[in-house]
Amino acid sequence: MGDVQEDIDNDSDFQTTESGASQSYPQQCSALRKNGHVIMKGHPCKIVEMSTSKTGKHGHAKVHMVGIDIFTGKKYEDICPSTHNMNVPHVKRNDYQLVDINDGYASLMEDSGETRDDLTVPKNDIGAEITKNFEEGDTLMVTVLSSMGSEVIIGTKPVTK
């Protein structure tokens, strides 16, 4: 288990394990938690706000939640009886080494050495940071979040030597 971190990083057959599996699984509303994930109106969201309420003193618990689409940043709201199920997306994070940036596309290398060039550098603060640090010649790792068939770069950190 000591090599777990590396195992994750160089896990090459990850996609294949996932491709057959469903993109989400049901979970009872009351079991969802803040900072967890949920599918709201078809979008994978991170739950940023969660509160329970009831209609009237003798009413039943309802869960009110606000989620932010993990890819677009769009906000969604939903309210649901606490006993109902909601779908929770499978969300994964992978770290890659950044090899190059071409026309706004990031060239990423897995630890196995395979590269991929299909992800854009996001047009936000993270993207700006990546571009800046890369141009300054730093060796960077980027974190890629994937869920429901979409992937996006969500973070970066310098390679620790």
Minimum gap (Å) between residue 41 Cβ and another protein: 19
The answer to whether the CB of 38 falls within 8 A of the CB of 67 is yes
Q: Residues 17 to 46: which contact another protein by CB under 8 A?
A: 17, 25, 27-31, 33, 35-37
**Piece of the chain touching another protein by CB under 8 A; list 54-62, 69-77, 107-115, 116-124:** 54-62
| Paired residues of 144 in beta bridges | 94, 153
| Interaction of residue 55 with another protein, rule CB under 8 A | yes
> What's the token pair of residue 71?
């890819």
Q: What's the CA gap between 67 and 4, in Å, rounded?
A: 31
Name the burial class of residue 79, with classes exposed (0-12), middle (13-18) and buried (19+) by CB atoms within 10 angstroms of its CB: exposed
Q: Which is nearer to another protein, 35 or 103 (CB)?
A: 35
Instruction: Give residues in contact with another protein (CB under 8 A).
Output: 1-2, 4-5, 7-8, 11, 14, 17, 25, 27-31, 33, 35-37, 48, 51-62, 81-84, 88, 90-93
